[in-house]
């Protein structure tokens, strides 16, 4: 059984549709700690603002509970950011599972002497298809270096020892993170076509 964490944030339909596409039809949407403990896998989706999302986790006591889970756990987008140490979005402390911080993209190019800002170099949010490289862990089994996946975000996890995939937009950042039984994708595998489906399938087979 797959448990999707209910904390009133996240596009649940897109996640459940993605599960169905890889043949998984047994899932529950819950904030019950006993059910989350019993689940074979846990998914923490996320859409919205990090500090609000953390507050919703804390209301349910899930902010301290989720890090104690021992089965494979997958965060998606904001769900991944909440598994980091902190986020600049709302200046909030997060769960601290991954040893990195979440920062906002800065789209102004400094002048050569660093004294003045120039023109915007990229649009924010980072939205659309981008590549993932430096792939590690079984989450990326049968995924080619440079595969394209789908992003929608203005904040990013900084590169760190837990980085298991890298992307570049304005600067290099963690496209995915992994530590012990915890995994997170800053991109949306549920919106990333056949590549995303393979990543979800790989997670379900961990």
> Is residue 77 flagged as an active site residue?
yes
Catalytic residue (choose from 77, 84, 89, 126): 77
Catalytic residue (choose from 59, 88, 188, 205): 188
* φ/ψ of residue 87, rounded to 5: -135, 140
**How far is 95 from 113, CA to CA, in rounded Å?**
38
> Is residue 188 flagged as an active site residue?
yes
End-to-end Cα, the chain, rounded Å: 13
DSSP letter string, 78-115: HHHHHTSSEETTTTEE----SS-EEEE---EEEPTTSS
Q: What residues contact 14, with CB distance under 8 A and at least 6 apart? A: 188, 190, 191
> Is residue 190 flagged as an active site residue?
yes
Residue 9 in tokens: 């944030």
- Active-site residues: which are they? 77, 188, 190
């Amino acid at each position: 059984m797959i448990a999707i964490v209910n904390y009133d944030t996240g596009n649940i339909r897109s996640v459940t549709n993605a599960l169905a596409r890889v043949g998984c039809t047994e899932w529950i949407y819950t904030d019950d700690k006993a059910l989350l403990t019993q689940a074979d896998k846990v998914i923490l989706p996320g859409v919205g603002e990090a500090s609000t999302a953390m507050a919703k986790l804390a209301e349910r006591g899930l902010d301290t509970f989720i890090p104690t889970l021992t089965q494979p756990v997958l965060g998606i987008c904001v769900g991944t950011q909440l598994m980091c140490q902190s986020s600049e979005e709302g200046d909030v402390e997060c769960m601290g599972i991954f040893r990195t911080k979440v920062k906002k993209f800065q789209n102004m190019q400094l002048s050569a002497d660093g004294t003045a800002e120039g023109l915007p170099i990229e649009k924010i949010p980072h939205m659309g298809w981008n590549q993932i490289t430096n792939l590690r862990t079984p989450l990326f089994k049968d995924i080619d270096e440079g595969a394209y996946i789908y992003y929608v975000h203005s904040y990013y996890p900084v590169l760190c020892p837990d980085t298991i995939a890298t992307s570049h937009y304005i600067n290099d950042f963690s496209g995915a993170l992994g530590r012990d039984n915890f995994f997170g994708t800053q991109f949306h595998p549920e919106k990333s076509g056949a590549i995303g489906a393979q990543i979800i399938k790989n997670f379900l087979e961990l």
